[in-house]
Structure 1
């Protein structure tokens, strides 16, 4: 991965890290399943009206939407409502990276190098340590939110693989069209589990300080974390193997824990910080690649093509029609 693309991956980490305090503020007003439906509906409606569908089979759009949009955020929001701290959630959700690397090796037959395998092992050790630590808190009650967040990480990984297999003509439009999948199933879950009364109550008092903070968090989630962050992520996933891009997501906790400390006054336990260091160490180890080739892959775009997809790829006119992973 060239340095410019690594910087873009780091930018995604910043936007997604700041997203966790934003989600926390939104959950102060809205129930979790309804919030997921609302989040994706705000993207899906203009997408259906204004954005042409990418040349991708519906099975990959649906699979991407169910994994990335439904499973990831349903489990994450439910975990945070049940006591998962925002900063710690930003860390545990990065289980998607080792999940993606391992699933890509098994299902997509992407070669797992020794360095990447060691990085995954280090990261998993840190995540397992956090789970054990949380299991010892509050009589074990603190473990359930961790398990829910891990389920969200698995959903993210499954979405990554569908994104990878889609080979879209426009990754950004694929990300937008993925958003049409979650709203209806999540609204059905919200009505069945949270109930119409709770949903109706959450739509009142939106001009109060809590309501305004919730709306601000929702707008950040939709405009910045989803459109900018997920758009860049999709763009990178198409150009590089999953095992190279996915580990950058484990840098998100650096921003997530720091911003949660500043905004929400969350103070993670020293043991969790130390174990989180293992997770971050795993991503740094797994993302370093040897310099085996002297020429860029044939599918890499010329200088300037690394600009954010929001500007360059929103119309789908500059995206290659077919992209294959580089040989390793």
Structure 2
């Protein structure tokens, strides 16, 4: 089965919408909580009580620990710090998608594969979009914020490599149990860098809405998102499902503009078009080339 049903397409769209709009939710939670404490709470709720009901996946502890550290302390730790006044939510949702190219680079470095022409074109197109963002840094988007989100994308890519090495496993259980390694590191980093007083003050001033935001990231973004997305990937070819991920920054930038009033000047739209365009080239070029090539046994005309 390669053509996705309308019901399953809506499920995929719901996941992408949750992942994209989550950048606005993060921004709301950061109004009360220090970024590393927010990450600690997010992964704590992802771990407890779910680990009581999900058996530990059959994967090496080193793999689980590596994934937890890369995604917890790496991806979300850096992303939350960046979004705490260093980059707007909409641009963060766009820039972090460069994880695709970091994943390609890591895979090539580990396997010795060479960069193909279409991949080079895709990287250059997206890099042009990042250059547009870098050229327009200001009070809402700094060079430091851009670099932090690129760091988050790079550590996300490392997590992708570990996920691939883990093989066919229950991805929800994998995310839940890897959180056990993320939580203590994030807590210690928060304690060292943000301080006990700031941590206590953040918890005390957190409104019910802030706790809903934390729960949303843990349960909707992590558990529902991974469960639904991987269920779809188990039923359909990856080439059928993964193109919908290109809508994540669309939802992210749109939600940021609607709910937070983030402006969308022409340069942001150009940057978004270039980054998403590069991702699209990387995704669709092999499929287009395969479709254009004569099938095996067909006469060459």
1:203 corresponding residue in structure 2:
203
Q: CA deviation at 1:169?
A: 2.9
1:159 corresponding residue in structure 2:
159
* CA contact 1:247–1:286 (8 Å) conserved in 2: no
State the TM-score, normalizing by the size of structure 2.
0.84
Distance 1:110 1:165 in 2: 17
C-alpha spacing 1:16/1:83, structure 2 compared with 1 (3 Å): same
Distance 1:202 1:13 in 2: 30
Q: Do structure 1's residue 30 and structure 2's residue 33 form an aligned pair?
A: yes
C-alpha spacing 1:106/1:238, structure 2 compared with 1 (3 Å): farther
C-alpha spacing 1:19/1:46, structure 2 compared with 1 (3 Å): same
Distance 2:267 2:27 in 1: 23
Q: CA deviation at 1:262?
A: 0.9
Q: CA deviation at 1:112?
A: 5.8
RMSD: 3.0
The number of equivalent residue pairs is 286
1:174-215 per-position Cα deviation (integer Å, ceiling 9, x unaligned): 122222221100000111111111111112134xxxx23312
Aligned positions of 1:104-183 closer than 5 A: 104-108=107-111, 114-134=117-137, 137=138, 142-183=142-183
1:320 corresponding residue in structure 2:
none
Q: Which has the higher helix share?
A: 2
Q: CA deviation at 1:3?
A: 4.0
Structure 1: 5+ residue runs without aligned partners? 294-328
1:98 corresponding residue in structure 2:
101
Q: Do structure 1's residue 85 and structure 2's residue 81 form an aligned pair?
A: no
C-alpha spacing 1:57/1:103, structure 2 compared with 1 (3 Å): same
1:297 corresponding residue in structure 2:
none
Distance 1:87 1:216 in 2: 21
C-alpha spacing 1:56/1:241, structure 2 compared with 1 (3 Å): farther
Q: Secondary structure at the match of 1:181?
A: helix
Q: Do structure 1's residue 266 and structure 2's residue 262 form an aligned pair?
A: yes
Q: CA deviation at 1:133?
A: 2.4
1:48-88 per-position Cα deviation (integer Å, ceiling 9, x unaligned): 32210111111211121111222001111001113311111
Q: CA deviation at 1:113?
A: 5.0
Distance 2:210 2:236 in 1: 36
State the TM-score, normalizing by the size of structure 1.
0.77
Distance 1:55 1:111 in 2: 32
2:274 corresponding residue in structure 1:
278
C-alpha spacing 1:220/1:270, structure 2 compared with 1 (3 Å): same
* CA contact 2:2–2:240 (8 Å) conserved in 1: no
* CA contact 1:54–1:168 (8 Å) conserved in 2: no
Q: CA deviation at 1:115?
A: 3.4
